[in-house]
Structure 1
């Protein structure tokens, strides 16, 4: 008589060491709401649960097998050395036992992967305060390169459209409402999120039209990124729904940024965001980024609530998952609130330390940093123009682009740092006028050093190579000739870098309007409750 395998029977059988064709002492299980991963010896086996939700249907063996093959194909884009094959799980030689990779009619299938140390997950690293700046920089570079390599979705298709975005959001909100029916916070967040989705309809269309909707990872939270030989490596992408995987590239990046914010690591979140934006040049994404950060918070909250519901059905205690879900709802609310941060200009000659201070400010003060040297090179795809990087025309072009990015970022509610020399008074005035029009605080951070120090720093930078700036001693000499010092009126806007990091009383550059935040840091996502 054919044995009917229940979920509990299969789970118990796969925890037995003799189920595996290799040494597998002390099998461990990592469980999500739709799958289980069995850690056995040097390998890990991912088995789908026979579940059916509104977003995925694994109720048939065929659907689960098909999803295994899809997962293998898609995740090899990120981690080819990690994902090995799809293996059958067949009845074992004794009643109630199973065998991985044996002969016979499969009971189930599993994706076989090389096992890694769970402590090397970025989620474990951040919890243990062992996530380093170099890991964040590597992730920013690799994700920018990966997104750029993917073909864009057809604008005439149904992927990444405003209607698809709203439908995905509405489905997530319905699930949260079902799982948290009496939550005042959830209902307030839902109304604001749907309103923002409507407001951003034109922006969503433009992002699709301009090629920013691509086949992404789709589920890039910190628990789905692992350090392999010191390299941040995504795995376990969202394989079961192409419509959720084909998304705006900034939505993909928003997941780890959101996760870092959720874990109280705003400095690393902004390091990742600034690194990615500089690598990709996609500053236009700032318009939709707060919405996608909120949406990723909601998705993660929904997953936790689904998991809590499963545990509750099994008679397990679930308050921790529910509490974390509510913190994510609060983060979503903070992301959806439009706030005003300052526009900060760095001012000083090449070698005066502007970029170093701007980088520190961007992390410590939760700000978007835009470097003129990066924009200058992106405008020419890295190929030096005939007259060089620092001609009058090239410099004017770079400042126009810098102004446009600051305008876009401030309108989206982000505190902006314009990292350039700003030696010409008329250029500084254009940025000050923009700040007044946008009703955001305006400030100047002045950087100075002796001529000897400037020359020594530039010589060291040229010798080391690899810096975005191509300013040499000739450029420095020219800057010294054309520099227009700050006027007395401008000096009223000069602020110490600490003004943007530590809580401070008084003004930053100008009297505050009622719309202006009353203290630093200028963190757009401060977790405020509705």
Structure 2
């Protein structure tokens, strides 16, 4: 008669409803989590896999210790300690009892798992400001992440591409021609991007990151996103370009059909990252594609383990696969310039337009108000003195806007430039840029009467603009000059302005 292993005994002990009423067990390929009361205990399963080894008690204890070490900076209120499961001489088990340890667990403070971002996104319940808060959390984690002393992860990318392609072929779930095309496009993109990736590694952008930032590993606690379950079992998998870390939630938001959230995450991250990351924009299509393809691979692997709805699992795998195919395809970028006096709704329009424009996850928004604050080294909502608005400083802002727009466009992304553009030479500079780059340009100039503009300016809060009602009044005397851009009546609702503007684009998004 077979005897139970120590781990089997531990699982029976922790899952005993007579000891822990309403206990719930969640199993993955590498761990079993027991939820009870306000606590969760995560046990490493006694397995050896190609990418991890938990086959001995010593290895599992070390893995638990490492998980606490890696995750506590992300989620200090969740990750508490390593707890020992002990066995007394009489055979009874306890948590941190007087007996000998036969297993170890990561003890965590339990949270409401219905508030993980995958559940919220599936229900369409992502709050309006959540993507920006998530961007801030990810950016902060990257700012303190240890820099890698090697760029070995770059060498591993072709192997990852070949691995998921081989997995897709072996499953026989996807059309072989589609798999081959995906592999070919990924390798071609990698070859083109390799010099850029190597330069980013030299610049310190390869760091020890979270490594597994899909939406199920982000939870909202007290209205703030918290990152958890970072990779602890393999430094190599988590030592990556910071934008490959960002690419996971960007891709997953697109998978859950949340393009607005994905775009706002993108723009907030690039606006607030400690180091300028815009030079890495070109990497995102490949990074998001790899993330989507590996996610498809993960769900295909679950087909062999799941006792539940296999058709649903296959459907998810298929959706990630098709998303990967869509993300790797190059798109033609365009430039949209949104001008207008203060209070016409330029920034609201830019923010609404950006998610609707290709390539995914939408256009990069460059806002003069934000750029001016960056140039003066202050926070976005910190008010600048009048000296920051001299003709010379404004010229510098517009020149920098054009420079950054060119940088974005050169990497294949659509850009929206948001500024007053009250002078003919400011608009002409944007026109000339588009002509020189042979990029389609749509110039929109929003108009609304003074009363509406002043009311909107008055109602602003926590915004980068320093415009006041008196500024709006003074702007009435501006000599706009001849307009070659299309005037858009912006006196109505933001939705009406968006609809009017969309009708002016050369193709429907």
TM bracket, shorter-chain basis? 0.7 to 0.9
Q: Give the direction of change, closer, same or farther, for the CA distance of 1:6–1:331 in structure 2 (3 Å limit).
A: farther
Equivalent pair of 1:74/1:239 in contact (CA under 8 Å): yes
Alpha-carbon distance in 2 for matches of 1:137, 1:403 = 25
Task: Look up the match of 1:508.
Answer: 505
Alpha-carbon distance in 2 for matches of 1:500, 1:307 = 45
TM-superposed deviation, 1:403: 2.0
* 1:14 aligned onto 2:14: yes
Q: Give the direction of change, closer, same or farther, for the CA distance of 1:51–1:215 in structure 2 (3 Å limit).
A: same
Equivalent pair of 1:338/1:412 in contact (CA under 8 Å): no
Task: Look up the match of 1:40.
Answer: 36
Task: Look up the match of 1:319.
Answer: 311
Deviates more, 1:164-173 or 1:356-365: 164-173
TM-superposed deviation, 1:172: 4.5
TM-superposed deviation, 1:256: 1.3
Structural mapping, 1:209-248, within 5 Å: 209-248=202-241
Alpha-carbon distance in 1 for matches of 2:167, 2:234 = 17
Task: Look up the match of 1:262.
Answer: 255
TM-superposed deviation, 1:387: 7.5
Task: Look up the match of 2:508.
Answer: 520
Task: Look up the match of 2:190.
Answer: 197
TM-superposed deviation, 1:331: 0.7
Task: Look up the match of 1:375.
Answer: 371
Q: Give the direction of change, closer, same or farther, for the CA distance of 1:195–1:403 in structure 2 (3 Å limit).
A: same
Task: Look up the match of 2:499.
Answer: 498
Structure 1, unaligned runs of 5 or more: 510-518, 522-530
Structural mapping, 1:78-117, within 5 Å: 78-91=74-87, 98-117=93-112
The partner residue of 1:353 within 345, 353, 357 is 345
Report the TM-score, using the length of structure 1 for normalisation. Answer: 0.83
Alpha-carbon distance in 1 for matches of 2:240, 2:501 = 34
Deviates more, 1:383-392 or 1:280-289: 383-392
Alpha-carbon distance in 1 for matches of 2:285, 2:408 = 11
Structural mapping, 1:393-404, within 5 Å: 393-404=392-403
TM-superposed deviation, 1:376: 1.9
Structural mapping, 1:299-314, within 5 Å: 299-311=294-306
Deviations 1:157-192 (A, max 9, x none): 2355x3244444444444444445864233322221
Structural mapping, 1:57-456, within 5 Å: 57-91=53-87, 98-154=93-149, 157-158=150-151, 160=153, 162-180=154-172, 183-184=175-176, 185-280=178-273, 282-311=277-306, 318-363=310-355, 366-382=362-378, 388-456=387-455
Q: Give the direction of change, closer, same or farther, for the CA distance of 1:491–1:83 in structure 2 (3 Å limit).
A: closer
Give the 3-state SS of the residue equivalent to 1:211 in structure 2: coil
Equivalent pair of 2:342/2:472 in contact (CA under 8 Å): yes
Equivalent pair of 1:493/1:508 in contact (CA under 8 Å): no
Task: Look up the match of 2:494.
Answer: none
TM-superposed deviation, 1:319: 2.8
Deviations 1:453-506 (A, max 9, x none): 434444554xx5x3212234665566555543443x4349999632665xx6xx
TM-superposed deviation, 1:339: 0.6
Give the 3-state SS of the residue equivalent to 2:49 in structure 1: coil
Alpha-carbon distance in 1 for matches of 2:457, 2:309 = 60
Q: Give the direction of change, closer, same or farther, for the CA distance of 1:270–1:210 in structure 2 (3 Å limit).
A: same
Deviations 1:301-323 (A, max 9, x none): 22222222333xxx665332222
TM-superposed deviation, 1:291: 1.4
Alpha-carbon distance in 1 for matches of 2:385, 2:156 = 46
Q: Give the direction of change, closer, same or farther, for the CA distance of 1:86–1:256 in structure 2 (3 Å limit).
A: same
Alpha-carbon distance in 2 for matches of 1:61, 1:181 = 38
Q: Give the direction of change, closer, same or farther, for the CA distance of 1:174–1:394 in structure 2 (3 Å limit).
A: farther
Equivalent pair of 2:43/2:106 in contact (CA under 8 Å): yes
The partner residue of 2:466 within 465, 470, 493 is 470
Runs of 4+ in 1 over 6 A off after TM superposition: 92-95, 383-387, 492-496
Count of paired positions: 493
CA RMSD in angstroms, aligned pairs only? 3.1
TM-superposed deviation, 1:248: 1.9
Alpha-carbon distance in 1 for matches of 2:52, 2:187 = 23
TM-superposed deviation, 1:215: 2.3
Alpha-carbon distance in 2 for matches of 1:32, 1:260 = 23
Deviations 1:270-298 (A, max 9, x none): 12222222222532232211111112112
Q: Give the direction of change, closer, same or farther, for the CA distance of 1:180–1:290 in structure 2 (3 Å limit).
A: same
Alpha-carbon distance in 1 for matches of 2:69, 2:369 = 39
Equivalent pair of 2:446/2:487 in contact (CA under 8 Å): no
Equivalent pair of 1:219/1:255 in contact (CA under 8 Å): yes
Give the 3-state SS of the residue equivalent to 2:442 in structure 1: strand
Alpha-carbon distance in 2 for matches of 1:166, 1:490 = 46
Give the 3-state SS of the residue equivalent to 1:309 in structure 2: coil
Alpha-carbon distance in 2 for matches of 1:490, 1:445 = 5
Equivalent pair of 2:219/2:225 in contact (CA under 8 Å): yes
Structural mapping, 1:476-491, within 5 Å: 476=472, 479-487=475-483, 489-491=484-486
Report the TM-score, using the length of structure 2 for normalisation. Answer: 0.87
Equivalent pair of 2:447/2:488 in contact (CA under 8 Å): no
Alpha-carbon distance in 1 for matches of 2:498, 2:308 = 50
Q: Give the direction of change, closer, same or farther, for the CA distance of 1:493–1:117 in structure 2 (3 Å limit).
A: closer
TM-superposed deviation, 1:35: 1.6
